[in-house]
């Protein structure tokens, strides 16, 4: 396993992301390269889960787009992530919020953590 860790350390960069967890509302600034132009797209939603470990760790962000649920998986070490901003700290009782997939509208809201409100 050490060889895997060595390769991962050699070949991937470390993104300095703020600490966040499932239930938090985040805005991910993602670099998009079109031809030779580069622009930044902001993807805002709730963190559904943090998956994996080490350099292959990912997080899933879910949002409602025109009434349709959209989920995007971002690798933590992706060079295309410009920044992540934590907008709200959510109060949730589990690490994987799969139950949100079955909920819409007011039921799909996540309560904000009281003492950590920004």
| C-alpha separations of 13 from 43, 57, 98 in Å | 22, 13, 30
| Partners of 21 in the β-ladder | none
Distance CA 81, CA 77 (A): 8
DSSP symbol at 90:
B
Contact stretch for other proteins (CB under 8 A) within 41-49, 76-84, 88-96, 105-113: 76-84
Helix (H) or strand (E) holding 29: strand 25-34
40 binds other proteins (CB under 8 A): no
Mark residues 47-66: x for contact with other proteins by CB under 8 A, - for none: --------xx----------
DSSP symbol at 114:
S
9 binds other proteins (CB under 8 A): no
Q: End-to-end alpha-carbon separation of the chain, Å?
A: 41
Out of 79, 96, 99, 116, name the contact with other proteins by CB under 8 A. Answer: 79
Q: Name the minimum Å distance from CB 33 to other proteins.
A: 7
Q: Name the minimum Å distance from CB 100 to other proteins.
A: 25
Residues of the shown chain interacting with other proteins in the complex, contacts defined by CB under 8 A: 1, 3-4, 6-8, 10-13, 31, 33, 55-56, 75, 77-80
């Amino acid at each position: 396993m050490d060889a895997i860790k060595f390769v991962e350390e050699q070949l991937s960069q470390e993104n300095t992301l703020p600490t966040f967890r499932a239930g938090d509302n985040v805005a991910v600034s993602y670099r998009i390269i079109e031809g030779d132009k580069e622009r930044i797209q902001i993807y805002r939603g709730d963190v559904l889960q943090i998956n994996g470990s080490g350099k292959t760790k990912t997080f899933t962000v879910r949002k409602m787009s025109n009434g349709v649920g959209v989920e995007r998986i971002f690798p933590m070490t992706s060079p295309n992530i410009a920044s992540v901003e934590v907008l709200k700290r959510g109060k949730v009782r589990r690490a994987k919020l799969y139950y949100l997939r079955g909920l819409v509208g007011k039921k799909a809201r996540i309560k904000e953590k009281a003492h950590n409100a920004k």
